[in-house]
């Protein structure tokens, strides 16, 4: 189980990184943030957040 929220339409890379979300170079090259991507956070440190690409999320997680 992981704490995640969806990327919201209109969220920009700048807004996410200003919020402290880590976005990998590879995800940036693929156009993220995209609707369908998710933002994960460490439940023990809510300032530790990272982008999970939609394709990775769909292959490895299921929403509850």
- Complete DSSP assignment for 11-56: --HHHHHHHTEE--HHHHHTT-S-BTBEEEEETTEEEEEEEE-HHH
pTM as predicted: 0.91
The CA distance from 9 to 20, in Å, is: 18
For the chain, which residues make up each domain, given as ranges? 3-60
pLDDT digits 0-9 by tens, 9-64: 999 999 999 999 999 999 999 999 999 999 999 999 999 999 999 999 999 998 87
The C-alpha angle with vertex 12 and arms to 62 and 42, in degrees rounded to 5, equals 45
Among 48, 49, 19, 54, residue whose Cα is nearest residue 33: 54
pLDDT digits 0-9 by tens, 14-27: 999 999 999 999 99
């Amino acid at each position: 189980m992981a704490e995640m929220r969806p990327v919201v339409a209109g969220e920009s890379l700048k807004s996410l990184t200003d919020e402290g979300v880590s976005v990998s170079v590879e995800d940036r090259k693929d156009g993220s943030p995209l609707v369908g991507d998710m933002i994960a956070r460490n439940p023990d440190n809510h300032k530790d957040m990272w982008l999970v690409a939609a394709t990775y999320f769909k292959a490895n997680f299921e929403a509850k």
